[in-house]
Structure 1
């Protein structure tokens, strides 16, 4: 979720508007925004969960991750891969994978589904 600029009224009320991964916006209490995951917020406010979010690198689709994916909020499926803060960045509703991530690293992300074109596995 991305926090949008706050109005004076929101500031006084302890609220802010957030943009969700799929582009929807929602006004939230700041405490709720700090403590709840996007999936919990969607459930509490009756918003549909996006089923999958694309993972891209250099303009290529590598695969998808679940809608509630958080780059530092998962346990790796592989003991040889530990998530690092720079591994993924969110940009325009998609996750951009860092060039240092190989196919094994991506496969260690719970819920990652590789794209049908698996050319990324050959380092391309």
Structure 2
């Protein structure tokens, strides 16, 4: 039951983020590392990826689709980590400290947790809860 609730909460989270990538791309463009080519297209397609992954996580019937979505979203979360680090560095360099360490440090630690929760709730892994036989 907890696994289903987490999966649905993550689906809502990723769907909201995907919508925001499409509807209001400006904040995402400002944290994009300068070495990323075609930043506008990257933000657009990451929004599409989040929406598709969210739809896959919502699946209660198609387990292969749900697992594929979970894997895709986990890989996505790995790929956007450099943007989070870049945002951290940009923000901390501001005279006012930007959002501060109270925002950025938990965000850095949350990223691996979100990756694992996505894989666990999507049925890709049962670690560390697997039953010993």
Q: TM-score range by the shorter chain?
A: under 0.3
- For CA contacts below 8 A with separation 6 or more, give which structure has more relative contact order: 2
Greater per-residue helix proportion: 2
TM-score (norm. length: structure 2)? 0.23
- TM norm structure 1: 0.24
Higher strand share: 1
